[in-house]
A and B are shown apart, each in its own frame.
Chain A
């Protein structure tokens, strides 16, 4: 049966439907993935057998392997057999589970987003994985693994149509950018950007996630007792033979291997970026952004514009050298709260536009918030008292702890550690200078960072709560710390003038209370 016939036969009907037979592969992959996730403790008995069975161990292992494989195949087969879904007038129903039957009903108006993924093993069959995100759940989303692309598109259209019919999706906004004078025109609001590999390489070079990863990995490596590992002692012998006796040679080898590691990490980062974002293109139609990317498994995500909570323009320090920016469209998220500080690894809840130029970033911002005209030079700075507070009240006490400890060991020289905060002072001053805020009465913009920076643009009506905080010192000098909470992110501006903070709060509250645009 051809794909089109399949799609025709299956859409629009109110019958229980099944996935395509190739979905068995999807279930196999899923089961393996689940096993991996649940930890490899389950494989521990296998390891015990492996080490204790003596002579016949390979026979035992291969038997276990065959049995496991058969169980996997059977499990996947039954999962496939038992998985059914149905599109009714206002609900999406799914039945699944072999031993534990699971029935899931999802109302169309609760569906946040519909995304496609095309894993490499589905490509020969022309199938996709359709995942449905609903409000409130981060992990427990629904996926239909292995349905023909046409059917998936049909389902998406149905879902969005139903939403519109229920009056929950306001008509597409007619905000179109004037792009007559732009250098690469945004074709009738259709294609916004297509990223060539060169830009992806830039993204790989300039996002600092790999360094976060590297520091974690370094921490993990430090836990390992290296002397136990034979390869390393061999390496050490090689090192000694190679570097010889001279200290210069040793230093050269150390520096060389450090550089090698550095470039290796950069290489991994670049490759990762290419695999993830290969053939990236972003289009916009009917008030919805649509993104396609990926080398091995193609991802298709669409994001209704009204769901965008804020736009983040970030430039990490390596990106400064390449003069590129990374844009993030933030959606409602409940899990990403903690990730806010750790530096943008929030996965599903952001849509990333990697490696764009400054002019594109500005144009993009103007497209999302057409009425908001801003200029980085308008940003107001926070009080310089922030620097003083950080050094006197935060860093000095921290430095005091090792000082007192060292004082017992080496005497009065330990007082020198108290000077450490002085050396950090330039960084604190830089951090203070990076903080900035501006508003036009309807939108806000907040900047923070140290060497690179992160600009967050948000319309005031998307704000959830506002918090004002004053320490005694701030009260004396008429300053305040303002925290603005959006759905999925919280932004803080420390040490801003109280008058400004109060004005921000009052304007934001007024906007929230007077604006009938839905925040979600």
Chain B
């Protein structure tokens, strides 16, 4: 505790008072390095709560600029910052919230050429991306780089959440979904519509699971998929076994390098 200032002890007092966190846990949070992919609907609330929680280093990756249609759910951004790079817009709010956090900004799009470099300095990754190509790429890269990944995704009124750590013997994303859908079969663009609050719900749950992984408390979502339905107001957990036939982390893998998977966007309302 001695290396926290009085001000920091006060700032994190509601954490420190929890036996599950304490000064020791708060120190773990300060030592943690978390990379958030996407400063959008999921990344915004996750970044806000992780910053508030005193995560030591927070990386934010996003190559887009703020658009008026983002503001219905992307709470890092504000009307006066339309047109600004999202990571820069995010920085303004996050720095004002907690100057203790070392923010690292990556105003770039994620792809096979840069993903491993992006991950290299981090312990834990949050995927808040908006397309299948990036999700499969991030899963594969985290597998090769042995990084824990907290994956959240949203569609209309439904959300999915899972913790991925195959390096610790747990299933990967491809154990759950071996391949992305072929182009045109699943709507995966923001134009399909999403309840703004849903992004907050799932993004905050990603931050929750990240903090649990860092502190090593509670039950990890590494063996389950959490399904949330905002209309039914139901949370369900289904089993997510490790697949011995997984093309990435199975016994005879067919994916051995990082590659971009091309999946185009479509507005057709089919799975």
- Chains A and B come from one and the same complex: no
Binding site for A on B (CB under 8 A): none
